[in-house]
Structure 1
Amino acid sequence: MLRIAGALLLAAAVAGLAFGLSAVASVAVYRAVPPAHTPLMVLRAVQRRDARPARWRWRSLDRISPHLVRAAIAAEDSRFCSHTGFDWREIREALKDFEETGGFRRGASTISMQTAKNVFLTPHRSFIRKGLEAGFTVLIEAMWGKRRILETYLNVAEWGPGIYGAEAAARAWFRRAAGRLTPDQAALLASTLPGPLRWRPDRPNARIRRKARIVRERMRLVKLERDRACGG
């Protein structure tokens, strides 16, 4: 019995080590090479039963409008440039809210965490996935840096049915390149990130228009030029 238990523990340790090395290798590769696709892209294609390729064009951060960079930070992760992957203030507030209401009405997921999930994992919720997400978040923060994380985030984010990344979104919704987005267009795109299959940036409902106005105001507080490593 002890031999069986020992063998199982050894097998688990080997499997864990192999997965860890594979994860590090994947993060190292994507530091310089854009991913060919993401798990979400594959999942959505299966759900749509559509063999057509997703609309997706990778663009370097220099070719994405700084208005969209600011809008994404303002809408999704205002402390992105200062935290190390996890916004502990937001996490504490979310836990406090859970204790008071019995549910999570506010999210604490950072751009780094969303990037880790979007590139390496599926959107299915589970404690195991959240644990893996945290691990990948630590890795990309250590190996990529803020600028690469932000570039990847804006290139793989879902912005509609079969639409991924800033370039495809800008062309699909506003018929222009990602580098030519106006502040208002950027705010609308960022405002639909939490529900890209429910909302359209080109035809915003009252909720999205209201959120876009808030994002537009917050964009003024995001000073990328002070820290080029963070997207300036």
Structure 2
Amino acid sequence: MSRYGPGAETPASPQLAGRRRRWLRHLVRGLLLAVLAPLALIGAFRFVPPPATPLMAIRLVQGYGIEHQWTPYEGIAPALARAVIASEDNLFCEQALGFDFAALGRQIRAWRDGQRPRGASTITMQTAKNLLLWPGRDPVRKALEAWLTPQVALLWSKRRVLEVYLNIVEFGPGIYGVEAAARAHFGKRSSQITTREAALLAAVLPLPLHWSAASPSAHVRQRAAIIEHRMDQIQPLLGCAR
């Protein structure tokens, strides 16, 4: 007869306790892997070029090819860095931890007021996303992006962020990085790109599968003209891109 009365809990068996300990160890290891693996990759990519990105793999499955050639920052026309900053993230050189906190505050207020947030993505955020994550706006991906962004900002210099971004960002169907984009759209090396051509390439970044720098629509030409004008306006903010 059991010495435990009705309703009393019996002690866990040694086998059950062992299983719980094993699950706990697996959970801890999984959490450590989730934290340390991206950190290790970010640390490695501070020094070596990323060979590919998740987006490249996704596009390959979708039927697109891969045109991509890594080019060191020194071999890229300075106008290209200025153009993407003017187009995507005017305050890139001034940001702490890779975030534009003022823009984030405006988006939170817009969401609170029932308006549709327009986004506050920075070049550092986009680099973290393009390097390690998948495209989309789902909450899980956005949360991971927010987790990875400060790691990139703290481990890399601003110039390294720009170098990686310019080399992996999508410029067209199967076209990644400024070297492949310069060759595909203008038949020249990225070091030979003019200010106008740089503005056209930056203009297509929001919709690279639908907009073309080689055959720009009126809308893309207008965007490029605005970017080119803004490049002159924000010269004092471009110290980290020189």
TM-score between the two structures when normalised by the length of structure 2: 0.86
Tell me whether 1:166 sits opposite 2:178 in the alignment.
Answer: yes
Say whether residues 1:102 and 2:112 are aligned partners. no
**SS of corresponding position for 1:193:** coil
Q: Which residue of 2 aligns with 1:62?
A: 74
Cα distance change of structure 1 residues 201 and 30 upon mapping to structure 2, 3 Å threshold? same
Higher mean alpha-carbon deviation, 162-171 vs 92-101, is at 92-101
Write the distance in 2 (CA, Å) between the matches of 1:193 and 1:38: 17
Query: Which deviates the most, 176-185 or 93-102?
Result: 93-102
Unaligned runs of 5+ in 1: none
CA offsets per residue over residues 109-154 of structure 1, 9 Å max, x none?
Answer: 0000000000111113322211211222111111111110000000
Measured after TM superposition, the shift of residue 226 of structure 1 is 6.8
Deviations along 1:33-92, whole A, 9 cap, x unmatched? Answer: 1111100000000011x5x5x111111111111111100000000010000200011111
Unaligned regions of 5+ residues in structure 2, if any? Answer: 1-11
Paired residues in the alignment total 226
Cα pair 1:97 1:103 within 8 Å, conserved:
yes
**Separation in structure 2 between the aligned mates of residue 78 and residue 207 of structure 1, nearest angstrom:** 21
Q: Percent identity?
A: 42
Q: TM-score, normalised to structure 1's length?
A: 0.90
Q: Which moved more, 1:190-199 or 1:21-30?
A: 21-30
Structure 1 position 210, deviation (Å): 1.5
Give the drift of 1:205: 1.4
Which of 8-17 and 205-214 deviates more?
8-17
Q: Contact (CA 8 Å) 2:92, 2:123: kept in 1 or not?
A: yes
Question: Match for 1:41 among 45, 56, 60?
Answer: 56
Structure 1 counterpart of 2:241, which letter?
Answer: G
The answer as to whether partners of 1:71 and 1:216 remain within 8 angstroms in 2 is: yes
Structure 2 residue matching 1:44: 3-state secondary structure: helix
Q: CA RMSD in A?
A: 2.0
